[in-house]
Amino acid sequence: MLLEVQMKITNLKLICYALLFLCNGCGKHADPKIDQALASPLVLFQPLMQDAVTLNSNEAETVRKIIIKYNGKGFVRIESKAPPVADGTFILNNVAFGWFGSYLYLYDDHQKHYCIVEDDNLLKLSVAFNKAIGTNLPHAYPSHEEWPNILNALTRQP
């Protein structure tokens, strides 16, 4: 009986080790679009129904650091349902990342799901965006001229 219990414990340990090994890459999103985006020398922000705004080098670097999270373990949340409508889109080498609140999302064409990362810098951007649209209804979407100041929130220190 003792031998039987020891064998079951050994089997459970082996299963746990196998699961740890298999899950070592979980939460990591391998998509060639990430590398394509990170290779872009230019980062654009496309507000809704307006011309794109080119980010300055500091803002662009901040967005790249957020996108790098797609390659990190545990940073990516996978959703099958579409996220809320984006407040705008970051575009790098024709790869579009939707932005809403503190989230950036990318649709995976092959897996047919959304890959979402969260970042505090996006939350700062969201606060600046919400301040710009105001609290009165109906909200006035920021003009093209207002976006450079809003996007500057990506690199502001708290």
| DSSP secondary structure letters along 7-51 | HHHHHHHHHHHHHHHHHTTTT----HHHHHHHT-S--EEEETTS-
State how many domains the chain has: 1
pLDDT tens for 134-150 read 865 677 889 889 999 99
Per the domain annotation, does 17 fall within a domain? no
Position 4 scores a pLDDT of 55
CA distance linking residue 68 with residue 63, whole number of Å? 9
What percentage of the chain's residues is helix, strand, coil (to nearest 5)? 40, 20, 40
Structural domain for 95, as ranges: 27-154
Q: Is 151 helix (H, G, I), strand (E, B) or coil?
A: helix
What pLDDT, on a 0 to 100 scale, did the predictor assign at position 9?
A: 44
Per-residue pLDDT tens over the stretch 63-118: 999 999 998 878 899 999 988 889 999 999 999 999 999 999 999 888 889 999 99
Q: What is the domain-level CATH number for residue 118?
A: 3.30.1490
Closest C-alpha to 88, from 96, 77, 78, 80: 96
pLDDT value, residue 26? 40
Report the predicted TM-score, pTM, of the whole model to 2 decimal places. Answer: 0.77
Does residue 3 lie within any of the structural domains?
A: no
Mean pLDDT calculated for residue range 114-141:
88
- Please check whether residue 46 lies inside any domain of the structure: yes
